[in-house]
Chain A
Amino acid sequence: MVQDVDDHRAANAHRAGSDGLVARGISQRFGERVVLDDVHLTVPPGRVIGLLGPNGAGKTTLMRAIFGVLEPDAGSIEWQGRPATADDRRGWGYMPQERGLYQDMYVHEQIAWVARLHGLSKQRAASRTSDLLEQLGLGDRSGDKVEDLSGGMAQRVQLAAAMVHEPDVLVLDEPFAGLDPVAVDFLFRVIADHVDSGRVLVLSSHQLDLVEDLCETITMINHGRVVLQGDVSTLKSASDARFLRVDVDVDPTWIDGSAAAVETSGPAGSRLRLAPGAQAADVLDDIRSHGPVGDFGVETPTLSELFLDAAGEPAADVEDLATQNVPSRRTDVENPVAESEEVAR
Chain B
Amino acid sequence: MSSFESVRLVMIRELRQATRKKGLWAVFALLFVGSTAAMVLPEVVGGDDSSTDEVVVVGDDPALVDALTALGPALDSRVDVTIVETDTEAARLVEDQEVDIAVTSGDSPEIIVRAGENAALVGAARQALYVTTLTDRLGDAGLSDAQITDSLAVPTAQLRELDVSGQSRRGASVVISLVLYVLLLTGMVQVANGTAIEKSNRISEMLLPVVSPGALLFGKVIGVGIVNVVTLSAGLLPVVVKFSIGGDLPDGIGGALAASAAWFALGLALYLTLAGMLGALVERQEEAGQVVSPLTYLLIATYIAIQSSGDGVFGAVLAYFPLTSPIAAPTRIATGDSSPVEIVGSLVILVATVLVAGRFASTVYARAIVRTGKRLKLRDVMASPRTRPA
Q: Check A101 against B203 for contact (C-beta < 8 Å).
A: yes
Interface magnitude class on chain B: 20 to 34
Q: Check A68 against B388 for contact (C-beta < 8 Å).
A: yes
In the complex where A67-B209, A96-B202, A96-B206 touch, is A105 in contact with B17 (Cβ < 8 A)?
Answer: yes
Residue A156, interface by CB 8 Å = no
The total of interchain contacts (Cβ-Cβ below 8 angstroms) comes to 80
In the bound complex, how far is the Cα of B212 from the Cα of A186, in angstroms? 32
Q: Check A113 against B1 for contact (C-beta < 8 Å).
A: no
Q: Check B210 against A69 for contact (C-beta < 8 Å).
A: no
> Contacts of A113 on B, CB cut-off 8 Å?
9, 13
> Contacts of A90 on B, CB cut-off 8 Å?
1, 209-210
In the bound complex, how far is the Cα of B194 from the Cα of A112, in angstroms? 20
Residues of chain B having any CB pair with chain A under 8 Å: 1, 6, 9, 13, 17, 20, 198, 201-212, 370, 372, 384-388
What would 7 more interface pairs be, CB under 8 Å, given A100-B201, A114-B210?
A: A92-B209, A96-B206, A100-B204, A101-B201, A102-B203, A104-B17, A114-B207
Instruction: Provide the A63-92 mask, 1 if CB < 8 A to any CB of B, else 0.
Output: 010011111110000000000001001101
Segment of A115-123, A209-217, A241-249, A308-316 engaged in the interface with chain B: A115-123
> Contacts of B211 on A, CB cut-off 8 Å?
117
Closest residue to A60 on the B side, CB-wise?
A: B205
In the bound complex, how far is the Cα of B207 from the Cα of A113, in angstroms? 11
Q: Check A117 against B1 for contact (C-beta < 8 Å).
A: yes
A30, A69, A99, A161: the one contacting B208 at CB < 8 Å is A69
Closest residue to A73 on the B side, CB-wise?
A: B385
Closest residue to B12 on the A side, CB-wise?
A: A113
In the bound complex, how far is the Cα of B17 from the Cα of A96, in angstroms? 24
Residues 108-137 of A contacting B (Cβ, < 8 Å) = 113-114, 116-119
List 10 A-B pairs, Cβ < 8 Å. Answer: A67-B208, A68-B388, A69-B388, A101-B201, A102-B201, A102-B203, A113-B13, A114-B206, A116-B9, A117-B207
> Contacts of A114 on B, CB cut-off 8 Å?
206-207, 210
In the bound complex, how far is the Cα of B143 from the Cα of A343, in angstroms? 138
Closest residue to B205 on the A side, CB-wise?
A: A96
Nearest-neighbour CB distance to chain A for B139, whole angstroms, equals 88
What are the 5 A-B residue pairs with the smallest beta carbon separation, nearest first?
Answer: A100-B202, A67-B209, A100-B203, A98-B202, A96-B205
> Contacts of B384 on A, CB cut-off 8 Å?
30
